[in-house]
Chain A
């Protein structure tokens, strides 16, 4: 790319090392890494808004199944028990471990629910630009929730629990467990196919359109707030 073409691209600071650089126009499927620290600054997925929307809707349905259906059934000497995600947290609460129960509910139910609902709202709003500025706020919170939605970790935890209990009783995986496995795949798939830059390009500025127009001129480096 020529220097002239490159300099028409917006300037960006690496969020890990603060190096200023310009990101060239990426080919589909391409990624741009920081010239100094190698952090992935930008990626261009094939279908940055539609595909994540489909995945988010699917994930919301699977989320309901994962929470409503039993994760596993246990039977030993004629006795029978089964549990759901919330049932697990409830038992912790009843046994006096209330804070742990709340942490489990947050990681298993609240964080993924907020993440999915906020992504849904942002992606639906993105279909009719400009996005209202509250969708920026929603995206910010949604992205904060992401590391706390721990279906992958939970799945491994349940596997370990199953193997431990299998020595004592017969354990059968339930529908909820398969739904959880699907969520463990769907949540990372949403973040890989989604490109937040596409949302920020379309969002209505919190502090007015005239300011946005000034920034769009490309001489925003010289402008203060």
Chain B
């Protein structure tokens, strides 16, 4: 095979994101629909950068109350304990199950923050036309997509703790306001990863190749 880098966009071809059929649209701006499966055809996802920015900014705003507000409130007839996400990690650690404390710390605190920073970095790198480290950035994007769903962990922990511990008046657990914001962070960052078009990362590599050739 020849060494020249030819992308679909350069060749005037659009790949259907659903069924991968390659077609040559008459007008690349309005590529229409895939003749095979009917999905909307786009050379690059429409307004990918703007939409991804909007979603991660919304997620970053929700991240603050998600961590400050309690996710669970435990009531016994004498006491009432509000527990934030970090509080839950500390509780698991102090009760001796440090592996679980680590899992929750990674899934609930580090992964959402890491996703926001990683997507922000990828967006800036595309907007500045950053050349180089394409493989590293592609890998970063794949990691973001892969780990995204695992942050939902704490939402499920809260749901099933609340559902099970209903022994009124002895002991009961209520959900806190933080759980909604936390779920919002997870959903918004998952949507942001779906809106981001990884092909944008490689367009600068394609341009470099063109100059060299």
Measured CB to CB, the residues of A under 8 A from B are 6, 10-13, 15-21, 35-39, 71-72, 74, 76-77, 79, 81-83, 87-92, 95-97, 99-101, 103-104, 107, 133, 136-137, 139-140, 143, 147-148, 150, 153-154, 156-161, 163-165, 167-169, 171, 196-197, 200, 203, 205-208, 211-212, 215, 220-225
Contacts and interface: CB of A to CB of B under 8 A. Distances in A.
A156 B154 CA distance: 10
Contacts of B166: 81, 91
Given A153-B152, A157-B152, A169-B167, 7 more contacts: A18-B8, A71-B160, A158-B160, A160-B103, A197-B20, A200-B19, A206-B33
Interface stretch (B35-43, B114-122, B125-133): B35-43
Contacts of B104: 160
Contacts of A36: 5, 202, 205
Contacts of B138: 16-17, 37-39
A35 B202 CA distance: 13
A18 B199 contact: yes
A178 B35 CA distance: 44
A168 B153 contact: no
Interface residues of B, number: 74
A167 B95 contact: yes
A13 B164 contact: no
B30 to A, nearest CB: 11
Contact of B167 (A76, A205, A220): A76
B67 interface: no
